[in-house]
Amino acid sequence: MKTAVYPGSFDPITYGHIDIIDRASRLFDNVIVAVLNNPSKAPLFTASERMDMIKKATMELKNVEVDSFSGLLIDYVEKRDANTVLKGLRAVSDFEYELQMALMNRKLNRNVETVFMMTSSRYSFLSSSLVKEVARLGGCVKDLVPDYVFERLVEKNKG
């Protein structure tokens, strides 16, 4: 059975992430969307809020599971008996960092492969950080995230 772990902060999930998850669900038997819980960062949404939004976005994909983790990704992948780390790329600039991470993960466990998937061109500019910043400044991000994520962004930015 081929299981891929798609890790990230997903703060918040965007249509770019959903594009990768949807396409990966057709390539792998199981896809685990793993929300990184990093206490040293200050995300806009809690890990449970991010997981809830991802679950809503992927509820029709029966082979997609949402989970969270902290610590080393490779430890989490091993714990989940997965054999693939899935990373979405928007541009060549993403590749340099992701290549370093993939090589380190390969050093830590030679049985886990990293697969890079390019996002659809219509989402190549999209990042969670950009969505949060535009929303915080009052710009419209309605067509970049699902409606319930948009509503959560509006709520968070009211105060």
Residues marked as catalytic = 17, 41, 90, 128
Alpha-carbon gap, residue 90 to 50, rounded angstroms:
21
Q: Is 71 left (phi over 0), alpha (psi -120 to 50) or beta?
A: left
Q: How many CB atoms lie within 10 A of CB 34?
A: 25
Tell me how long the chain is. Answer: 159
Q: Please, are residues 53 and 13 in contact by the beta-carbon 8 Å criterion? A: yes
Alpha-carbon radius of gyration of the chain: 15
Peptide bond into 7 cis (omega under 30): no
Alpha-carbon gap, residue 124 to 91, rounded angstroms:
7
Count how many Cα atoms sit within 13 Å of the Cα of residue 93 in the half-sphere of its side chain: 3
